[in-house]
Amino acid sequence: MEAKATAKYVRVSPRKARIVLDQIRGKDVARAREILMFSERAISETILKVLDSAVANATNNHDMSANNLVVKTTYADEGPTMKRFTPRAKGSASRIRKRTSHITVIVAPREEA
């Protein structure tokens, strides 16, 4: 049995989120929380909330012990991109792409992962 939590439409590019998600994949929950709390990247705070939500889903919905959980899978899918324009030289314009991502964290008991 595994528990899952997702944060949708997070205003960060998936590429930046994947850097932090790769660091916690496969670690036990206590170690993953430690890595996220001391990470200097801004997205780590959001990922910590998603991880805590996945742990809460596991304990409340599936009666799993929080001490025995491991981060089984993490991924950041691309969400919709907001397109904006900024003025450039000679009356032209450049496109600014404000990317969003959907961050998913799946936790499972140590034996399954």
Nearest-10 crossing angle of helices 29-37, 43-62: 160
- CB-based contact 72:21 (threshold 8 Å): no
Question: Torsion over CA of 13, 19, 23 and 25, rounded to 10 degrees?
Answer: 50
pLDDT surpassing 90 at residue 111 = no
Our measurement of the distance from residue 70's CA atom to the centroid of its chain's CA atoms, rounded to an integer in Å, reads: 15
Residue 75 lies in domain: 3-109
pLDDT at position 1 is 87
Residue 17, domain CATH: 3.90.470.10
| 108 dihedral zone (left: phi>0; alpha: psi -120 to 50; beta) | beta
Indicate the number of domains in the chain: 1
Instruction: Evaluate whether 15 touches 103 at the Cβ level (below 8 Å).
Output: no
- pTM of the complete model: 0.91
